[in-house]
Structure 1
Amino acid sequence: MHRLLGMWAAAVLLLLASCDPARVYEQNVDLPEGSWQIDNAPVFEFEIQDTTQAYDVFFNIRYNLQYDYYNLYLRHQLIGPDSTQLSAKLHEVLLMDSKTGKPLGDGSSDIYDLQALALDNVTFSKPGTYKLKLTQYMRRDPLPHIMAVGIRVAKDSASAK
């Protein structure tokens, strides 16, 4: 039942995303058994052609309400077309309101999808293929009830042409 609901939600998100002219790239990966191992660090590759455009990078997180924490620490590493590291940072993503416990994002039943702004108004100096690596930085390994992670790269709304 949950799998069918998840597939339906993914289809709806895909349909909505296909109508989004700002989106340059979006990819999500399912995590085995709904747990995120520290050594499972997905790498997302996306193409940038327009170096005059500013972009926003979002983290996509699908989680189950059985998740034990209200937040998720993760680290990104952004690698340029020439294999140099352009940025690396530790992020705290709030999955639930810390006071009320209310889940953040969109969901139904016990599965929620959250899109959190990670990098704002980024410009890429060279056209080419960029890589963004995500690593979970919680104290628990594996980290249960994180079902999928991904990224979305979109034209920055303030500078979109």
Structure 2
Amino acid sequence: MKKQGSASILLLLLTGILLNACSVRTDLFEKNVAIPNHSWSKSFKPEITVNIEDTISRYHIYAVIRHTDAYRYKNLWMNVGIQNPAGEVNTHQLDLLLATDDKGWLGSGMDDIFEQRIRITDKEKPVPLRAGTYKFTLQQTMREDPLENVMNAGIRIEKAK
């Protein structure tokens, strides 16, 4: 009888731990939008929406770019529009460094596909975000239109540690 009681308690504890593990909140959001035909026209402006609930934490925001080895440039000029929950829009013009002469592509790659996560907020000053819905709009502003060999563009938001 004693063995059944301790086995039941052990089972109950194990179930509680598993249920708690399933409810762990992630400190990360990432969404990428596929670029049609890997040819990013200036008129194609992917929009990404995220709801922020934790207003105590501070965040780092990254631009995410996935491209092929055939991409012809070392950088990518991009406008990132950020609409906050109050409806205010700020647009940031970014020059994203994708490669250097000595290192080649800076992102991680497999075969001829490379992915870059480039922080667009200051490393030393993560940003606070208000509670509510944010909308990010991405637009390539390179001279080449459409911009060939770009597969995906996206946004990554992670809590600062």
TM-score by length of 1: 0.79
Corresponding residue to 1:96 among 89, 95, 99: 99
Q: What residue ranges of structure 1 are gaps of 5+ in the alignment?
A: 1-18
Q: Taking every aligned residue pair, what percent have the same amino acid on both sides?
A: 32
Corresponding residue to 1:47 among 22, 44, 51: 51
Q: What residue ranges of structure 2 are gaps of 5+ in the alignment?
A: 1-23
User: Deviating runs (4+, > 2 A) in structure 1?
Assistant: 19-22
Corresponding residue to 2:142 among 135, 138, 141: 138
Corresponding residue to 2:80 among 76, 83, 86: 76
2:102 counterpart letter in structure 1:
T
Q: How many pairs are equivalent?
A: 135
Cα-to-partner distance string for 1:39-62 (whole Å, 9 max, x where unaligned): 111111001111121001111110
Q: Tell me the equivalent position of 1:111.
A: 113
Matched, 1:22 2:27: yes
SS state at 1:58 partner: strand
Q: CA deviation at 1:80?
A: 1.1
Cα root mean square deviation, aligned? 1.7
